[in-house]
C-alpha cells in the first residue's frame, strides 16, 4: 500500500493567546484509495485538520506530506492541485454564474487550454449526472445539485484526494444519498482517496477507517466495526451511533442477549433471523 | 418590491439581440444613452423611439416586460416631468401663478424628458434582459482591457463584478429570510416615523453584513482550494466572438447618429 497523506505532529492554534489548541499533536497516514471518515463533536478540530491538509491554514509545527511532497510556501499550489475540497455550504462555494462556468473556474485557474477545458467540463458534468443543467444558474438548483456541481468542479481538476468538509450537512436525506453515491462511484472509477468529515454516522459506517477527534486530538483510529463496538464511549462524546447499534442497545434493555461486536444492517438482519429460528 | 426589480435579470432567448456579442450590446447601450441628448425636436425623438422599438422587436421579448421595468421609476419620472412643466418659462404662457408657469416650452420639455427617461430605461433593460451577467462582465473586462497599461486591476474588477452579480439573487433570498425571521420576533417594517423605520432596518442590515463576511470567507477558501491565484496565467472558458450581426448593428447606430444630426434644429 502506498501512503498518500502523512501528517506528523501537527499543532495549530488560531490565535497566539488561545490556550486551547485547535489541533494537538495530530499524526496519521492514509493509504492511496482509502475512504476515511473523520468524526467528532463540533469544535473538535475536524475542519481545521482538513484545511491543514491542503494548506488553507498553516500548522504552527509539524509536517504535512502529500504524495511525497512536503507542504510549504513553495509547494502549496502543487499540493492544492492534488487535493480537491468540497465545502459545507453549497451556495458559498459556487463561484461561476452558471454550472459550466463554475466547473470551468478551477480549470481556468491552472491555465488549461480552452478546447481541453470544454471536454473536461462536459466529462465531469456527465460524471455527476448533471448534463442537462449545464446552463443553469445556482439560484435555480437544489442544494444537492449544487453540491454535485461542486464535486464536478473538483473532479474536472483530476485530484488524487477529495476532502468532503461536511459536504452533506446542509442537504436533505435524498440529496445526501445522491452526493455520497456520486462520490463512491467516482472513487471506484478513478481510484481516489476520500477524506470525509461528517456528522452523518451512516455515511461514516461506509468508510474503510474512521478517525475520531475530540478537543483537537485524534482519539481513535479504527475500522467502523472497532469504533462502533464501543458504542457507549461514542455516545458519551456527543456523537451518534449507527442504526443497528441503536437497535441492539434497545434490545439489550429489553433483556435480550445481543452480540458484543459491531453489526452492519445486513449483519443485524442475519443475526435477528437466526435468533428467531432458535426461539 | 424586490421581485419587480429587473436589474440583473436575464431572459433566455434565441433572438437577433440575444446572439449579439455582449461587447457590441454594451457599447450600443452606452452610445444610445449619449446620443439621446442630441435629440431636441419631435422628429429626432421619433427616430430614437422607432429605433428603440426596432431593437425591442428584434429581441423577441414582449413590450410588457419593458413597461414593467419602467414602473418602479415612474415616480421619479413624474416628479422630474412635473418640475419641468411647472418651472420652464418661454413660448406661449397658458397659466401663471407666482413663479409657477405652464408654458408651451415647458410642456414640450416635459414630454421630451419623459421620452428620454423611457427610452434610456428601455435600452438598458434590453441590455440586461438579453445578456447573461457573466457575458456582461466578460465584455466589461475586454473593453477595459486597454486600461491595464495604466495599472488598472481589470481582471479583479471583472471578477468582483461577476461574483457580485452571481450573489444578487442569493443575498436577496437571504434578506427576505432575515426580514421574515425578524418579523416573527415582532419587528415592524415600514411603520412609524422615519427614525423608527430606519431603526427597524438595523436588525436586517447587521445580520446581512455578518453573513456576507462569512460568505466572503468561505468563498475565498473555496476559490483558493480550487487553485485561484489571481489573474496571472489564467485561461478563459468563455470567448467572445464578433460577428456580422454586430457590425450591422454598429452601422445601425452610425446611421441613427447621422439621422439625428440631420434632423435636429
Q: Which of A112, A177, A262 is nearest to B226 (CA)?
A: A112
Does position B2 have pLDDT exceeding 50, yes or no?
Answer: no
Residue A157 distance to chain B (closest CA, Å): 8
For cell 434493555, the residue is A253
In a domain, B237, yes or no: no
Does position B157 have pLDDT exceeding 50, yes or no?
Answer: yes
In a domain, A96, yes or no: yes
In a domain, B260, yes or no: yes
* Count of domains forming chain A: 1
Query: How far apart are alpha carbons B232 and A158 in whole angstroms?
Result: 22
| ipTM given for this complex | 0.83
Q: What is the DSSP string of B115-176?
A: HHHHHHHHHHHHHHHHS-HHHHHHHHHHHHGGGGGGT--HHHHHHHHHHHHHHHHHHHHHHH
- Please check whether residue A92 touches B, CB under 8 A: yes
Predicted pLDDT at B212? 93
Q: Which of B224, B29, B36 is nearest to A85 (CA)?
A: B224
Handedness of CA A204, A209, A214, A220 (dihedral sign): positive
DSSP H helices in A29-139: 46-53, 76-82, 99-109, 114-127
pTM: 0.78
Q: Which has the higher per-residue pLDDT, A86 or B200?
A: A86
- Optimal mutation site among B132, B211, B222, interface A, most CBs of chain A within 10 A: B222
Q: Give the CATH number for residue A213.
A: 3.40.50.300
Q: Average per-residue pLDDT in chain B?
A: 84
The predicted-structure confidence for A94-108, as pLDDT tens digits, reads as follows 888 889 989 999 999
In a domain, A271, yes or no: no
Q: Which of B77, B40, B121 is nearest to B85 (CA)?
A: B77
In this prediction, residues B159-174 reach a mean pLDDT of 85
- Please check whether residue B193 touches A, CB under 8 A: no
Q: Are B226 and A106 in contact (CB under 8 A)?
A: yes
In a domain, A16, yes or no: yes
**Which positions 23-52 of B are in contact with A (Cβ < 8 Å)?**
none
Cell of B122: 428601455
Cβ contacts from A onto B, under 8 A: 98
Q: Which has the higher per-residue pLDDT, A200 or A154?
A: A154
Q: Which has the higher per-residue pLDDT, A168 or A236?
A: A168
* Residue A139: pLDDT band with limits 50, 70, 90: confident
Q: Are A107 and B231 in contact (CB under 8 A)?
A: no
Strand pairing category for A209-214 and A35-39 = parallel
User: Are B225 and A117 inside 8 Å of each other by CB?
Assistant: no
Q: Are A130 and A149 in contact (CB under 8 A)?
A: yes
- Please check whether residue A125 touches B, CB under 8 A: no
Residue B190 distance to chain A (closest CA, Å): 28
In a domain, B93, yes or no: yes
Residues of B in contact with A52 (CB under 8 A): none
Does position A235 have pLDDT exceeding 50, yes or no?
Answer: yes
* Count of domains forming chain B: 1
In a domain, B214, yes or no: no
In a domain, A168, yes or no: yes
What are the distances in angstroms from CA B150 to CA B19, B27, B144, B145, B146? 32, 22, 11, 10, 8
Q: Are A48 and A23 in contact (CB under 8 A)?
A: yes
- Please check whether residue A74 touches B, CB under 8 A: no
- Going by C-beta distance under 8 Å and a sequence separation of 6 or more, which residues neighbour residue A211? A28, A36, A37, A38, A39, A218, A220, A221
- Please check whether residue B164 touches A, CB under 8 A: no
The predicted-structure confidence for A45-62, as pLDDT tens digits, reads as follows 888 898 888 888 888 888
Strand pairing category for A61-66 and A69-70 = antiparallel
CA angle A61-A65-A68, nearest 5°?
150
Structural domain containing residue A42: 3-224
User: Are A96 and B235 inside 8 Å of each other by CB?
Assistant: no
Query: With 0-12 CB in 10 A as exposed, 13-18 as middle and 19+ as buried, what is B4?
Result: exposed
Q: What is the DSSP string of A230-259?
A: THHHHHHTT----HHHHHHHHHHHTT----
Q: Is A146 helix (H, G, I), strand (E, B) or coil?
A: helix
Kindly provide the b/e burial profile for residues A114-125, where b requires at least 16 CB atoms within 10 angstroms of the residue's own CB: eeebeebbeebb
Query: How far apart are alpha carbons B160 and A13 in whole angstroms?
Result: 32
* Residue A279: pLDDT band with limits 50, 70, 90: low
Predicted pLDDT at B206? 93
Structural domain containing residue B61: 16-131+242-264
Query: How far apart are alpha carbons B219 and A41 in whole angstroms?
Result: 24
Query: How far apart are alpha carbons A197 and A174 in whole angstroms?
Result: 19
In a domain, B79, yes or no: yes
In a domain, A130, yes or no: yes
Predicted pLDDT at A215? 85
Q: What percent of chain B has pLDDT over 90?
A: 18
In a domain, B253, yes or no: yes
- Please check whether residue B228 touches A, CB under 8 A: yes
Strand order across the beta sheet in which A69-70 lies = A23-31, A3-12, A61-66, A69-70
Of A77, A105, A150, the CB nearest to B229: A77
* Nearest residue in B to A138, CA atom: B166
Q: Is B22 helix (H, G, I), strand (E, B) or coil?
A: helix
Predicted pLDDT at A228? 80
User: Are B132 and A56 inside 8 Å of each other by CB?
Assistant: no
In a domain, B98, yes or no: yes
In a domain, A232, yes or no: no
The predicted-structure confidence for B34-93, as pLDDT tens digits, reads as follows 999 888 888 889 989 999 999 888 888 888 888 887 888 889 999 999 888 888 777 677
In a domain, A62, yes or no: yes
The predicted-structure confidence for B233-263, as pLDDT tens digits, reads as follows 788 888 888 888 888 889 988 998 998 888 8
Q: What percent of chain A has pLDDT over 70?
A: 97
Residue B111 distance to chain A (closest CA, Å): 40
Predicted pLDDT at A194? 93
User: Are B224 and A80 inside 8 Å of each other by CB?
Assistant: yes
In a domain, B64, yes or no: yes
Predicted pLDDT at A143? 86
Residue B237 distance to chain A (closest CA, Å): 6
- Optimal mutation site among A76, A79, A96, A97, interface B, most CBs of chain B within 10 A: A97
In a domain, A7, yes or no: yes
Does position B204 have pLDDT exceeding 70, yes or no?
Answer: yes
Amino acid at each position: 500500500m502506498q501512503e498518500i497523506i502523512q501528517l506528523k505532529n501537527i499543532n495549530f492554534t488560531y490565535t497566539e493567546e488561545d490556550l486551547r489548541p485547535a489541533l494537538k499533536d495530530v499524526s496519521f497516514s492514509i493509504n492511496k484509495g482509502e475512504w476515511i471518515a473523520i468524526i467528532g463533536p463540533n469544535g473538535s478540530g475536524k475542519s481545521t485538520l482538513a484545511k491543514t491538509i491542503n494548506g488553507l491554514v498553516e500548522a504552527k509545527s509539524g509536517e504535512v506530506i502529500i504524495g511525497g511532497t512536503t507542504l510549504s510556501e513553495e509547494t502549496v499550489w502543487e499540493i492544492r492541485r492534488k487535493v480537491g475540497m468540497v465545502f459545507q455550504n453549497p451556495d458559498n462555494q459556487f463561484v461561476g454564474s452558471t454550472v459550466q462556468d463554475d466547473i470551468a473556474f478551477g480549470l481556468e485557474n491552472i491555465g488549461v487550454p480552452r478546447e481541453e477545458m470544454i471536454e473536461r467540463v462536459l466529462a465531469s458534468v456527465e460524471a455527476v449526472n448533471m448534463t442537462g443543467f449545464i446552463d443553469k444558474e445556482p439560484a435555480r438548483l437544489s442544494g444537492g445539485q449544487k453540491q454535485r456541481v461542486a464535486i464536478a468542479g473538483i473532479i474536472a481538476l483530476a485530484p488524487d484526494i477529495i476532502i468532503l468538509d461536511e459536504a452533506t450537512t446542509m442537504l436533505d436525506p435524498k440529496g445526501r444519498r445522491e452526493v455520497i453515491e456520486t462520490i463512491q462511484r467516482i472513487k471506484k472509477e478513478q481510484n481516489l482517496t476520500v477524506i470525509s468529515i461528517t456528522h452523518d454516522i451512516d455515511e461514516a459506517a461506509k468508510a474503510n477507517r474512521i478517525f475520531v477527534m475530540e478537543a483537537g486530538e485524534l482519539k481513535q483510529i479504527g475500522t467502523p466495526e472497532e469504533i462502533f463496538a464501543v458504542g457507549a464511549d461514542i455516545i458519551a462524546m456527543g456523537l451518534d451511533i449507527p442504526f443497528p447499534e441503536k437497535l441492539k442497545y434497545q434490545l439489550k434493555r429489553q433483556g435480550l442477549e445481543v452480540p458484543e461486536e459491531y453489526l452492519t444492517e445486513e449483519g443485524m438482519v442475519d443475526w435477528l433471523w437466526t435468533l428467531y429460528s432458535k426461539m | 418590491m424586490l421581485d419587480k426589480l429587473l436589474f440583473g435579470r436575464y431572459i433566455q432567448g434565441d433572438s437577433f439581440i440575444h446572439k449579439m456579442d455582449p461587447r457590441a450590446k454594451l457599447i450600443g447601450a452606452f452610445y444610445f444613452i449619449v446620443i439621446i441628448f442630441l435629440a431636441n425636436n419631435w422628429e429626432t425623438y421619433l427616430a430614437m423611439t422607432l429605433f428603440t422599438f426596432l431593437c425591442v422587436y428584434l429581441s423577441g421579448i414582449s413590450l410588457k416586460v419593458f413597461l414593467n421595468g419602467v414602473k418602479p421609476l415612474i415616480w421619479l419620472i413624474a416628479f422630474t416631468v412635473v418640475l419641468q412643466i411647472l418651472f420652464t418659462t418661454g413660448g406661449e404662457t397658458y397659466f401663471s401663478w407666482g413663479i409657477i408657469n405652464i408654458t408651451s416650452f415647458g410642456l414640450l420639455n416635459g414630454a421630451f424628458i419623459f421620452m428620454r427617461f423611457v427610452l434610456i430605461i428601455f435600452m438598458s433593460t434590453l441590455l440586461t434582459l438579453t445578456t447573461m451577467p457573466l457575458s456582461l462582465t466578460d465584455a466589461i473586462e475586454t473593453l477595459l482591457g486597454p486600461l491595464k497599461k495604466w495599472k488598472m486591476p481589470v481582471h479583479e474588477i471583472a471578477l468582483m463584478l461577476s461574483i457580485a452579480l452571481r450573489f444578487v439573487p442569493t443575498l436577496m433570498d437571504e434578506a427576505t429570510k432575515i426580514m421574515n425571521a425578524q418579523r416573527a420576533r415582532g419587528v415592524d417594517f415600514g411603520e412609524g416615523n422615519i427614525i423608527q423605520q430606519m431603526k427597524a432596518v438595523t436588525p436586517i442590515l447587521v445580520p446581512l453584513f455578518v453573513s456576507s463576511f462569512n460568505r466572503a470567507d468561505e468563498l475565498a477558501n473555496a476559490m483558493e482550494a480550487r487553485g485561484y491565484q489571481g489573474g496571472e496565467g489564467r485561461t478563459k472558458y468563455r470567448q467572445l466572438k464578433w460577428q456580422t450581426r454586430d457590425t450591422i448593428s454598429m452601422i445601425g447606430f452610425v446611421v441613427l447618429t447621422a439621422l439625428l444630426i440631420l434632423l435636429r434644429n
